Amino acid sequence: MSVVSIVLVVILLLMLGVLGLLLWRFNQISERVQGIEKSMSEGEGQAFLPHLKLTIHDPHLIAQKESKLAKAVGAVSPEYIRYRVYKQVAAELELALTEREINVSIEMVGLKGNGSKTTKGSFDSTSKA
């Protein structure tokens, strides 16, 4: 055997090893996806409870009505204004429903607060302050 054929055999063996590794990893991911699909179809957890979706169409206008500094801050950080408006609305909704003795959990999902992390806060009226 020449040196070229030995190099080609080594490359072929390396490629087969990489292919085996990729197939093994694909199988792991496939099993994980099937597990998630199964748990979703069985309705585990609270994911399938009825939900309300609240969208504030113009949070910057609300902020400007509530605060004189909102216009200046909104020009620099509009995402922060949106976060603060949603946080305030969630707190007021939670307070109003708690006063009516309605237990509610309000989550803010997909909003950015002070940093770049997504905020998933929860206001739960079952714990009274």
Tell me, what's the pLDDT at 77?
Answer: 80
User: CA dist 64 to 6, 77, 84, 90, 99, Å?
Assistant: 74, 14, 12, 18, 28
Distance CA 17, CA 20 (A): 5
The three-class DSSP label of residue 116 is: coil
Tell me, what's the pLDDT at 115?
Answer: 45
Tokens of 8: 């080609």
Residue 77 contacts by C-beta under 8 Å, 6 or more apart in sequence? none
Q: Where are the domains of the chain?
A: 1-45, 59-124
Closest CA to 80 of 114, 103, 54: 114
Mean pLDDT per block of 10 residues along the chain (129 residues) reads 90 95 93 82 60 83 81 78 88 91 82 50 44
The distance of Cα 92 from the centroid of its chain, to the nearest Å, equals 23
pTM recorded for the entire structure: 0.50
